[in-house]
Structures are given as structure tokens and as C-alpha cells.
Structure 1
């Protein structure tokens, strides 16, 4: 039985997550259900895409990922099921899939058309669960939808490179639990544009000219503990997903602060890399 994952902006207070899980188990008592996150900021597609993009690859091939963010059905927000990179995704066609497909193209997309058989004002519960359960039982996508080739594309979500190839203009796409800020600048793009040149990373009040691979790489452990610049040290690094992240070493909102609070950075704020010839 394939794993079914859930990613939503439902939070933990209300009944929604429990109801969705109950509906899955009603369909299949032996279902394997895994929560990725229910703490997505409301209707925050880019945040959801970042989390899903970095989680789904850890699951077995054939896993089914229900995305319950901005999922209300309307003429501009249809429902789709997608087979991509060996995984299935059930969600609204609100642009979230376009954020996952910068390097991987979907192998099959269908527009879900079972709504006339279901009375629903809670599509994740009533529609997405039915579709995910159908797939989990070995059903094909063509049974629950008509094949389409185009999905909604969200523009302005990828970094821009200057014509002179000496600047990358990115934005913050995610702020993690520690207050570290993650930009949409990938290591691959940085290396393609930078070609080994020196650089300066700028974001509001900070400027950094070095990128680390691990948080602790920013600390000089040759110095005795009392003379190290540790807690509160500003740094840039390639995080585990190879996105450019701005951080505070051992950040904590109760002690040294976080990159988000100390740098004054929030979602969609600019992060620039200027290369020096």
C-alpha cells in the first residue's frame, strides 16, 4: 500500500486534519498516512512548495502527496492529479506544481472530474481523499480526470539574473523554525552565474562575502571556547536543499535572536548577490 502524505495550512487546532485522516481510513483501513506539515502559513503557496519539494523525495516511489493549500474549487482553481518523478500529487491547479517543476517535468497531468459525483464544500476531505485512495488501490489517473498538458504558472518566483551576468536578484521564500531565512537562489544558479568570482550577498542591513556548507563552518574552533565568536554570529550557507540561507549561529528568539528578526527580513524581501570581476 503506497504512503499518502498530507501537507496543509489547516493548523492543529481545528478538526480538519483529523477529519481528512478519518476519511482516508474509511476508504482504506490499512492506509499509511504521514503528515509532512499542517503549519503552512494560510494560502502560502511558495512556502508549501518549498516544504513539499524538500520532503517528497525522501518517500518511496509511488507515494501520493495530498496538498491542501488554497484548494477551494472555482473556475480559476481547478483540481488536478499529477504524476511526476515517480510520485503522485493531488492538489489545486493554483500554481504550486509549477514551483516544483523547474527541473522535473510532469509525466502525466489530469484535471479531476469526479465532482459531479460528490457533494462537497471541503475538497481535501471529499475529493482529494477519493482521488488519493483510487491511486493507492492501483487505479489510473485517466479514470478520475481528463488528460491536460498545461498547468497554471506563477511568474516572478525564480531569481532574476542581470543582462551583464554580474548580479542575481532573489527573494526570501521561507523562514524556518529557527528564524533562518531561505532565499530562492540555488547553488546551481549561483555557480553558473558566478563562475568562481568573488561576491557580496546583500539583504537589507547585512553584507556577507562567504558561503559555508555547515553552520559550524563559520566558527573558528582553533580558538579557545571563551574567545570564539559563536552565538549570534551572522552567516550565509548552502542549506541541506542547496538553497542560499542567511542565518544566525545557534539562533534563538529568546537569546541571541534570529536572522529574520535581527536582519529585519521577511517573506518576499530581496536578497542580492553581486559578483566582482
Structure 2
């Protein structure tokens, strides 16, 4: 099956998403087109990288992932096609692939050079779709671009550890649909440093001393319902993708607030973990 995924910051109000899908089916009518997200915050490559990195590996090998976030070509923002982990990615070389490929080395990277032949000003619709169709028809990457060695790097969102190894300084990298705050601190990284010590997680003036396995583990279901601390309880856990997350139990951002709004956190804010002797 020929699968193409789409991730953009186009939103759902305008015609852009439909136009891209129409161009895809015109290019490759048997393709299966899957939306990862079109609600990425405008130009937010950190948010887009988080969403794609946690979604792409669930698709079959050979899938092509088209990324239309901060995708306009400039002298500093060339377009690339990347073979990585059995998948293909078509996007701008704006740093997003360095985040997606932070733990896996790409097998091949080419700088796309078919723009003049297409004469386009809608990159994702014209260039990226042609490249995706070429790949899914079995075409080689070298036909649509020249091989390059490296990706534009974004390194500033890696969590840092102090020299005494008693503090992790992480950052918020994503806020999900429930307003849960997701950091860049992954469970294996945390476990390599905790070494049986107690810890305090700090976000602004709020502290967490326990990391739960699931959201419901934070609730004492042995207590009568009217005495439980449920909706709105602050908690920390490692989420399904293995990232340290701060949440409110059963929060509703539109009605009662969320971890992001009540803790006053936004993307790139600091979350620290202090290990106690």
C-alpha cells in the first residue's frame, strides 16, 4: 500500500489542505493519504517534530511523510528528501529533521533540485507532492536531488545535566489537546540519573515529588467518590511516548483549565528535576 502522511500548519479553515490532497490523488491515484496534523502552530517546527517523531514509526516501512511547516524555500531553507528508519521524509531543511532524527542516523539525504522545472510558488502542493509520488513509484532520491551529508541542526532543546548530576534542566516541547505539558525529558534518561534517589520536579512555583505510571494511579479509588481528589489533581507521569509530562487529572482546557494554563507554562519554558541526596 502506498501511504503518504501530511503534517502542516495550514489549519482547516482554508483551501490549502484540500488542494494538497487533490494534487496527491492526481499524482498517484492509488495512494492512501493520512493526516497526522494540520493544526501545528504556525512555523512551529519543534511542535511539528514532536508530533511526527511520535507518529511516523507506527506506519508501514516505505511510507512517505510530507511536512509542510515553515516550508517556503529560501537561501537558508533548502528543500530535502530524507531516507530514515525505513521511511521517507520530504520537508525544508529548517532543523526539523535533526529533531526527528536525533536518535537515528539518516540513510540518505538529498537536496531537492526540481523547482525550476515545475515553476511553483506553492511548495508543498507542487514540489513535495511530485517528490512523494516519485518515491512511491520506486524512484531513486538522486533523480530529484543531489546527495548532501548533513542536516541543519537544532540542539538547544536537549535536556541538560549539571556537573554534579543532581539536576536535569528540561524544557516544554509540546502542549497537547488536553493542555498537558510535555517535556523533553525521556524516561530512560531520567532513570539513568535517578539511581534510587528521591527527587523534586519543579515548574514555576509548583513541585511534584511522585511520578505515576498512569493518570488514574494518582487517584485513590479506595476512598468514597465524594472524598477523592480527582478532576484537577496535579500529577506527573511518563506518557505513552516515554516523555515526562505534567497534567491535571481529567482536565478540560475549555471549561476548567489545564496544566498549561493553571501552571502558566508554554513551549520552551523550563522544567527542572532535582535529585536529593
TM-score tier (shorter): over 0.9
8 Å CA contact 2:118–2:127 kept in 1: the answer is: yes
Q: Deviations for 1:16-49, whole angstroms, at most 9, x for unmatched residues?
A: 1111111111111111100000000000000000
- Check whether the contact 2:202–2:272 (CA below 8 A) recurs between aligned residues: yes
Name 1:164's counterpart in structure 2. Answer: 164
Question: How many Å separate the matches in 2 of 1:44 and 1:255?
Answer: 26
Give the equivalent residue in structure 2 for 1:247. 247
Say whether the 8 Å CA contact 1:231–1:256 is kept in structure 2: no
What are the residue-to-residue correspondences of 1:124-143 with 2, within 5 Å? 124-143=124-143
Moved more, 155-164 or 41-50: 155-164
CA RMSD of aligned residues (A): 0.9
Structural mapping, 1:10-49, within 5 Å = 10-49=10-49
The CA deviation at 1:111 is 0.7
Matches within 5 A, 1:67-78: 67-78=67-78
Q: Which is worse superposed, 262-271 or 188-197?
A: 188-197
Instruction: Look up the match of 2:213.
Output: 213
The answer to whether structure 1 residue 115 and structure 2 residue 115 are counterparts is yes
Q: CA deviation at 1:255?
A: 4.0
2:54 aligned counterpart, secondary structure:
helix
- Give, in whole Å, the separation in 1 of the partners of 2:256 and 2:222: 23
The equivalent of 2:104 in structure 1 is 104
The one-character-per-residue Cα deviations of 1:77-128 (angstroms, maximum 9, x if unpaired) are: 0000001111100000000000012211101111111112111111101100
Unaligned stretches of 5+ in structure 1? none
Could you state the TM-score of these two structures normalised by the residue count of structure 1? 0.98
5+ long unaligned stretches in structure 2: none
Q: 2:88 aligns to what? A: 88
Q: CA deviation at 1:256?
A: 3.4
The CA distance in 2 between the partners of 1:259 and 1:69, in whole Å, is 26
SS of residue paired to 2:51: helix
Task: Please tell me whether the aligned partners of residues 238 and 244 of structure 1 are also in contact (alpha carbons under 8 angstroms).
Answer: yes
1:181-220 Cα offsets, whole Å, 9 max, x none, are 1011111111112222110000012100111111001001
Separation in 1, partners of 2:59, 2:49: 16
Please say which of residues 34-43 and 221-230 is displaced more in the overlay. 221-230
Contact conserved, 1:63 with 1:87, CA < 8 A, in 2?
yes
Task: Compute the TM-score of the two structures, normalised by the length of structure 2.
Answer: 0.98
Give the SS at the match of 2:77: coil
Deviation of the 1:2 alpha carbon: 1.9
Does the CA contact (< 8 Å) of 2:187 and 2:238 recur in 1? yes
